[in-house]
Amino acid sequence: MRTRVLKLDPNLPDDSVLRQAVEVILRGGLVAFPTETVYGLGANALNGEACARIFDAKGRPHDNPLIVHLADPSDYTKYAECANTALFEEIARRFMPGPITVILPKKKEIPDEVTVGLQTVALRCPSHKIAHRLIELAGVPIAAPSANLSGKPSPTTAEHVIEDMDGRIDLILDGGESAVGVESTVISLKGDSIHLLRPGFVTAEDLFTITPKVMIDPAVLSQLEKGVKPESPGMKYRHYAPSALLTMVCGSEEKVISFFREKLQCGCGILCFEEDIPHLKGFGDPARVIAFGKRADLSSQAHLLFAALRRFDKMNLEHIYARHTAENDLGLAISNRLLRACAFDILELEREP
Ligand code: TXA
Ligand code: MG
């Protein structure tokens, strides 16, 4: 299959270009498109056969359900039931359109291929102008996982999508870089409480402003025991994984920098903060040092993390050592992705006495 790439202005997308994508979606094809979080790989969510093609194109395990993207949060009543509409509507009023996904009991309109047979469906209204207008013009909801090969870091540029999907899908809409850089926050509603299944740009702290009853799923920061089924199937996979071994390094500033210097001299890769770069000069090939943002700027870390992991993939390294980041606010999402990328391999250089 030949994959076409069409460029669009992310701030003022041209409807005539978007209509070419709509045509592909409505005939059951696959279109990758930018969202504010990462690029998605979309199909008509009401067409089971088209959604099944997403799994083939990505090599996605058949027990991992897809998110359904809507143009407007009020459309949720067509596809899902909600026992606590007041809570859903407050979440929608505060955070939608935007980087949050809510899991609700599904209606029969959503085919089993989307939800892999679960009785629930994940719904999200992206705020990105290209994604929003695409869904609006299509007139159908669009099922879309991240547009990477399964197990690879999520794509934050059209170039990343081309690397993984060229020849496997019909069309890629190139709208430049995704602003956020990590996937949406995934929550489910349990009575009057919110269960946080995957952290993202809408943080636990943001959710606490709606209700004190926010539960953070244990799978967010810890490894699941064998045989335990997470509520969100995606949490059990070694995700976002670079091809090299990855280890997260914790410890005092001095110890981490001297450890990085030693490993850099041995030919390893270093995934660090921008502030670390001057301290690593002269200790090995600077091309093997990649910064993912500034230490105190969590947005820049989220924005750059997946692109950094992809750059390492091209280097054929055996081992990469990464900085550990804060776990508050957006740091919870960054730590969650890094922990999955390193399969919970954490090196503690020193313990507090
Ligand atoms: O930001 C995002 O969410 C991006 C963009 C494209 O919207 N999409 C994305 O999709 O990250 P994906 O498929 O890579 O991740 C979806 C996550 C998976 O962990 C999946 O298991 C979970 O959402 N999920 C989907 N439907 C679910 C359901 N009914 N119940 C529980 N978890 C669900
Ligand atoms: Mg994904």
316 domain residue, yes or no: yes
Q: Which pLDDT score is estimated for 226? A: 75
Q: Which domain holds residue 205?
A: 4-220
Predicted confidence (pLDDT) per residue in 279-326, tens digit: 999 999 999 999 999 999 999 999 999 999 999 999 999 999 999 999
Residue nearest to atom 3 of ligand 1 (CA): 184
% of the chain surpassing 90 pLDDT: 91
Query: Running DSSP on this structure, what letter comes out for residue 25?
Result: H
Q: Does residue 114 share a domain with residue 73? A: yes
Query: Cβ distance 161 to 147 under 8 Å?
Result: yes
Residue 98 CB less than 6 A away from ligand 1:
no
Q: Does residue 20 share a domain with residue 149? A: yes
Q: Does residue 96 share a domain with residue 43? A: yes
72: left (phi over 0), alpha (psi -120 to 50) or beta: beta
State how far the Cα of 244 lies from the Cα of 263, in Å rounded to an integer: 14
Q: Does residue 169 share a domain with residue 30? A: yes
149 domain residue, yes or no: yes
232 domain residue, yes or no: no
Q: Which pLDDT score is estimated for 54? A: 98
Q: Which pLDDT score is estimated for 351? A: 62
236 domain residue, yes or no: no
The structural domain count of the chain equals 2
State how far the Cα of 113 lies from the Cα of 65, in Å rounded to an integer: 8
User: What CATH number did the domain enclosing 267 receive?
Assistant: 3.40.50.11030
Predicted confidence (pLDDT) per residue in 74-109, tens digit: 999 999 999 999 999 999 999 999 999 999 999 999
Q: Does residue 275 share a domain with residue 200? A: no
Instruction: Starting from the CA of residue 110, give the closest ligand.
Output: 1
Q: Which pLDDT score is estimated for 238? A: 63
Query: Cβ distance 121 to 106 under 8 Å?
Result: yes
Q: Does residue 80 share a domain with residue 27? A: yes
For ligand 1, the distance from its centroid to the CA atom of residue 67, given in whole angstroms, is: 5
Averaged confidence pLDDT in the chain: 95
| The pair of three-digit structure tokens given for residue 96, joined into one six-digit string | 């939608």
Q: Does residue 265 share a domain with residue 208? A: no
159: pLDDT confidence band, cut at 50, 70 and 90?
Answer: very high
Q: Does residue 133 share a domain with residue 81? A: yes
If residue 309 lies in a helix (H) or strand (E), which one and from where to where?
helix 298-313
User: What CATH number did the domain enclosing 142 receive?
Assistant: 3.90.870.10
Largest CA distance in the chain: 64
Query: Cβ distance 178 to 37 under 8 Å?
Result: yes
Q: Does residue 159 share a domain with residue 24? A: yes
Q: Does residue 207 share a domain with residue 286? A: no
156 domain residue, yes or no: yes
Residue 336 CB less than 6 A away from ligand 1:
no
For ligand 1, the distance from its centroid to the CA atom of residue 176, given in whole angstroms, is: 22
Angle subtended at Cα 266 by Cα 262 and Cα 271, rounded to the nearest 5 degrees = 70
Q: Which pLDDT score is estimated for 205? A: 98
Over 70: is that where the pLDDT of 190 sits? yes
| The pair of three-digit structure tokens given for residue 146, joined into one six-digit string | 């991240």
Over 60: is that where the pLDDT of 172 sits? yes
For ligand 2, the distance from its centroid to the CA atom of residue 333, given in whole angstroms, is: 14
